[in-house]
Every structure is written in C-alpha cells, then in structure tokens.
Structure 1
C-alpha cells in the first residue's frame, strides 16, 4: 500500500517568478516548473484532499489536472495558505433537472477540515470564508477532539488524519496545526510553515515521510548575505530545520515553502540535496520538491 502525494505549489509568500523582477531566479522560472513556484499547496488524490489554498490555488488545481476536490485541510490562516479558499466553490456540478446551481453546489459541497482556532482566525482574515460556509457551499469538520477518517475514492482503505495544533506567537492561541495522515500503516506528517514553536517530539515515531518548511537562509548559494543577522531570529533557520528533521528521522523528508527571498533556483536546490546526501552529518533522505511533483509514500 502507498499514499500518493502531489505538490501543487512549493513556493512561499513570495512565489517565483515575481512581477517586475529580473533576477536570475525569476529568469530561470520564465518557462515554468521546475523553477517556477506557486503558493504552498499539496494534494492527496486518494481522498480528493487539497492541503492549503494559497492565492493561486484555483490556477494550481487546473494546471496539475486535479479532477476531484472533496476536502481541504487548512494548516493556518496566513493568506499564502488560506487566501485562495474560494477555489473550493469553483467546481462544476452535475445539476439535477429541478436544481439551481446554488442548490447543486450545496449538495456537492467539499469539507474544510482543520481546528476550530484555525477556522475562526481564517474567517477573520479571509473575508469570503464565512460566506461560503453560511451559504452551504463549504462544510466544516473540526479535529479538536478526535481524528477524522477520510473515505477513499480509489477503492483502497481510508485515510485517517489527526491535528497537532501549535502557536504562531508565544502569547497567541494555537492558530496553526500540523497534520498526521495514516493509510494501512503508511504514515505522513505535514508541518507547513512558521514551525518555530512546534515541538517535533509530538510527531509519531517511524514516519514514512515528512513535509516540513525549508526554513530561512541567511546567505545565498554564492555566499551573499540575504538578510540582516538581527532578523534571522524571527524565523526558523534552515540549519534549525535540519536539526529537527534529524530528530524526527522520517524515511523521506521534503522541504517546501521555497520562497523567492531564498535566491535559489531548482538547480541550486538539487545541488544542496546532493551535498546533504554526501554529508554523513546531514539527515538522510532530504529533498526539495518542485511544483507538479508526485511521490508514492511507502512503509519504510
């Protein structure tokens, strides 16, 4: 048994290419992926579930031929993860003869799966979300009390998902969440972004795959400084991410959320992954995915 995962978007809050930019990263992305990166989004075909809906969500769903959209799992409320949630209502419907389009959309409404705190915050920051839910165009399912079992559309076993909420700021509610998926013994964890305050010891042992944020780079591939040292404490650094990845020790690790500000092309990330593979002190199995990439996750 495998669990298929597709990367619809691997960029961050600054996708690649950026408007009006003529840097080497944007020039490399002119012809599309693997250098071009849209906002962060994943897809689990077995259960028709998209994970996060950035501003470019509708375009990414079309570009990568997603033909079924039953659910959306939302990790947190930031616009580059939730700003495209209206894509959930942009679906064709097989309308019954006596149905209006609105009635058909309600009958076939996808389910937004997250925690109550993430949902409440997203309703404040993404103005269309309360409307979609109140009109019945999107249903909700909260994971605060228990995991959910997601029925599969491929004839295989279901997928269970549980939430691991965490704080984005020290004094804030737990307005972000990681997800742990399991299907017939195959286990995948997704920790999307802003994971400074996420304790990786909460993840189960023996993960087959981990999707984690890449973390920020203080320097570019040629050694140029990308940001002031004063600002580097505001985010989780790439070096700190590698330490956490090593502690988790998943069978495979995919570092995503690869923003324009990191000043790296697809070739740069491939070189970095190869360097880690040759470094006995680096964690095993670290890869940097690209938009459209599909992987089959198997038990280790």
Structure 2
C-alpha cells in the first residue's frame, strides 16, 4: 500500500512539473517549494494546485486554438484554399505565454496582409465597374467570372483575396482597358468619317446632332471618356450603319452629278458650230 501512495505522490509531482513546464511557468504560488508531512498530506497539498494547473492548461489550449484557427483561416484565404481548412493541432508541450504571443504577432501580420489584399481587390473591382459602365458590359457577370465571391451580393469580408484572384483581376482590368482604347479609336475613326460625309453633303445641324454621342469624343483621350455607355458596341454599330448609309447616298449623288455633267457635255457637243 505504501508503494502505491509513493507512486501516486511521485506521479503527482511529475505531472505538476510537466504542467508548469508546458505553461512556461517556473514556480507556482499556492504550495510550498519543499513538500513535508505524510504522503497523504503532501498529496492533499498538491492536488488543488494540480486542478488549477489543469484548468489553466485547458483555458490556454482554447486560446491557442482560437489564434491558430484564425491564422489557418486567413492563411487559407490568401492561398485560395479556404474550403479545405482543417482544425489546427495545438502543441500541448509548449503552452507558454511567449509562444502564444508569437502566434498573436503572426496573426496580426496576416490580418494586415489580408486588409491590404482586400483593398487591392476592392480597388480592382471598382476600376472594372467603371470600365464596364463605359463599355456597356455587364459588370456582375464580368467579376463573377473572375471569382463568384466578387459579386456585390456577398459581404466584403467574404471576397476572395488569393493570388489567383488578384492576378485574374489585374488581367481583366488590362483587357478592359485595351478594349476601351480600341473602341475609342473606332469611335474616333467613325466620327471623322461622319464629319467628312456631312460636310460633303451639307448635312443639317439637326441631323448631325443625332450623333453627338459619337462626335463628342473625337479628340478625347482614353482617360477622359467616363460616361456610362459612351463606348457601347450598339453605338458603334449605329455609327457604322450611318456611315454606310451616307457612303451609299454619296455614291448615288456622285452618279447623279456625273450623269448631269455628261448630259451637259453631250448637249454642248451637239450644238452646231
């Protein structure tokens, strides 16, 4: 029986030391540094301290789980693998406040990076919104194609911030900017053709005003064009149809003028000298 009590006391002392070490504590207030009295008395003295340390350990594990879970979550968001997040494993051999502070510092760095990435995403989305408006392109389908979370119906914190999403957004902006540049160039070419044809055929100001939305950007730079729908494809098609119509009208009138000149010439040649 004595051996059992001795082993129990030895185990309690080992557990006590192990808990202190895991929690990063060198000493613990509440029990004497040197044990005295009978084994039962010594066990009775160490038991409350062990219970407090076990409780402290459980609470510390929860703190570690909380901070490590946040680290895992943000890390997966940055990596673009948020759907595959696993529960973190806590190293119960080191539950010290120093280790916990290290995790908190890591979490703060990740939170800062997440915030910066989120701002980048929102900036890209805003630029895409403005470009889509000018080009007459559906904004929601454009950003949803990049990533479903970018749709405005989702919360800001739910938006994808991964490298793939940022790269795809950057490519989308470049593609839309190039499209805008090409469309403006096309508009300006059509506007020049319209003005030349109008001048040739003395088109009225009233007729010309119907295409003010085309000629208003004749000398505009890409950055200066910001009105929604200003470079929509249907407007380009309307201008192309009008240029074609005026070209045909011009050809018809040129033939008419040629016939008149030929008739005059023929009459002149028939007049007796």
TM-score, length-scaled by structure 2: 0.21
Structure with bigger strand share is 1
Q: Which has the larger radius of gyration?
A: 2
Which structure exhibits the higher relative contact order, with contacts defined as CA atoms closer than 8 Å and separated by 6 or more residues?
A: 1
Higher helix share: 2
TM-score (normalised: structure 1): 0.20
